[in-house]
């Protein structure tokens, strides 16, 4: 029986993988994968990793040294992988789409809560404070939403926004025609959007896509939604834009330095990241802890596809879900 070293295990991972696994011995590890913890994969035949596990060149080399030839990512994004270092050493497989609905719906949830201050209202009413002061929102109907990245999730998000009666514009280097969607150059999307939503992958080309310069071009009073990857936004520049009142609000499911915090309880420790602490205490910020994917359907698809990817690898079958060749 093949053994999988399963890093950064959470109870919901275990529950779903145990439900669908019939042929692997899974060594569930609470530790995140890093150069320090790679040794925990000793004796395993495969590694299973998630979004905040590190798969840089030293970790790839360490896993290769231990005889690991396949890493099954139980996520879509693979920006945490040094694909060039893995080439011809370790096959990196992923789950390209497990529920784009989950992520698109969470993005809409962030927008609605932020706009109508639902999270703040709940905190008030729980305290028997029933004032409405500072809770005025805007009608989304008739407003313009700009979508950066119109792949699976971006297009679903566009569809939902159209249901609200919003105008939809987008920038994507590879446009895909969709009803009611108008593609414009990047800068024009920044300038025209009342809501700007990020749905592109984190790559060297998209790192800090929204930097100080981009924030200076965003329509004043826009909402910013990011359920994709923290590194798409320069967090310090975002903080400045918020502090200067240039944004109406930011709904974030991801954060550039999330690796050190997300998925763990850090509530009893002093905040170790000043930018994160300032963002979290800002009244116009709503942040969730990389949970956009977290639906029952998505977890089931993640478990089934990840196990299927490993089945294909061990059977010598074609690897449909291998991450793209970095040189292609």
Known catalytic residue: 106?
no
Instruction: Give the DSSP H/E element, type plus range, for residue 12.
Output: helix 11-20
- Is the CB of 24 or the CB of 293 nearer to ligand NAI? 293
| Sites for ligand NAI among residues 132-161 (CB under 6 A) | 148-154
- Is the CB of 146 or the CB of 249 nearer to ligand NAI? 146
130 binds ligand NAI (CB under 6 A): no
Whole-number minimum distance, CB 154 to ligand NAI, in Å? 6
Q: Which residue is nearest to ligand NAI (CB)?
A: 151
Whole-number minimum distance, CB 246 to ligand NAI, in Å? 21
Alpha-carbon distance 66 to 44, whole Å?
A: 8
227 binds ligand NAI (CB under 6 A): yes
Binding residue for ligand NAI (CB under 6 A) from 88, 130, 177, 205? 205
Whole-number minimum distance, CB 260 to ligand NAI, in Å? 17
Buried b (16+ CB within 10 A) or exposed e, 65-78: ebebebbbbbbbbb
> 268 with 244: CB under 8 angstroms?
no
In DSSP notation, 79-94 reads TTB-HHHHTTT-EEE-
Number of residues that bind ligand NAI (CB under 6 A): 30
List CB contacts of 45: < 8 A, sequence separation 6 or more. Answer: 2, 3, 4, 68, 70, 314
List CB contacts of 186: < 8 A, sequence separation 6 or more. Answer: 148, 171
Minimal CA–CA distance to 278: which of 223, 250, 251, 239? Answer: 239
206 binds ligand NAI (CB under 6 A): yes
173 binds ligand NAI (CB under 6 A): yes
Residue 314: Cβ-neighbour burial (10 angstroms; 0-12, 13-18, 19+): middle
169 binds ligand NAI (CB under 6 A): no
From the candidates 199, 229, 248, 256, give the one annotated as an active-site residue. Answer: 229
Known catalytic residue: 229?
yes
Active site residues: 229, 258, 290
Interacting residues with ligand NAI (CB under 6 A): 76-77, 97, 100, 103, 148-154, 171-174, 199-202, 205-206, 227-229, 253-254, 290, 292-293
């Amino acid at each position: 029986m093949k053994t999988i070293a399963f890093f950064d295990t959470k109870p919901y991972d275990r529950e779903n993988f145990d439900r669908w696994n019939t042929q692997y011995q899974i060594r569930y590890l609470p530790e995140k994968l890093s150069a320090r913890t790679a040794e925990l994969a000793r004796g395993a035949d495969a590694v299973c990793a998630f979004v905040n596990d590190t798969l840089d060149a030293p970790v790839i080399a360490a896993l290769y040294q231990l005889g690991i030839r396949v890493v099954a990512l139980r996520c879509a994004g693979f920006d945490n992988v040094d694909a060039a270092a893995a080439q011809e050493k370790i096959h990196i497989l992923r789950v390209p789409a497990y529920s784009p609905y989950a992520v698109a719906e969470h993005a809409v949830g962030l927008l609605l809560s932020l706009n109508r201050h639902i999270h703040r209202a709940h905190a008030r009413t729980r305290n028997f404070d029933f004032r409405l002061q500072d809770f005025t929102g805007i009608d989304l109907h008739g407003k313009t939403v700009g979508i950066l990245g119109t792949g699976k999730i971006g297009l679903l998000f566009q569809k939902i926004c159209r249901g609200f009666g919003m105008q939809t514009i987008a920038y994507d280097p590879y446009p895909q025609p969709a009803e009611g969607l108008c593609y414009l150059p990047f800068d024009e999307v920044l300038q025209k959007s009342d809501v700007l939503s990020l749905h592109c992958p984190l790559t060297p080309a998209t790192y800090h896509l929204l930097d100080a310069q981009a924030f200076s071009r965003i329509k004043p009073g826009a909402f910013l939604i990011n359920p994709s990857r923290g590194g798409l936004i320069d967090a310090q520049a975002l903080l400045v834009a918020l502090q200067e009142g240039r944004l109406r609000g930011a709904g974030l499911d991801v954060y550039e330095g999330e690796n050190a915090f997300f998925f763990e309880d850090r509530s009893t420790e002093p905040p170790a990241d000043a930018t994160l602490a300032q963002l979290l205490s800002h009244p116009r910020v709503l942040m969730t802890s990389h949970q956009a994917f977290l639906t029952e359907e998505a977890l089931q698809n993640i478990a089934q596809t990840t196990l299927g990817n490993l089945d294909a690898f061990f059977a010598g079958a074609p690897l449909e879900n291998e991450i793209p060749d970095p040189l292609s």
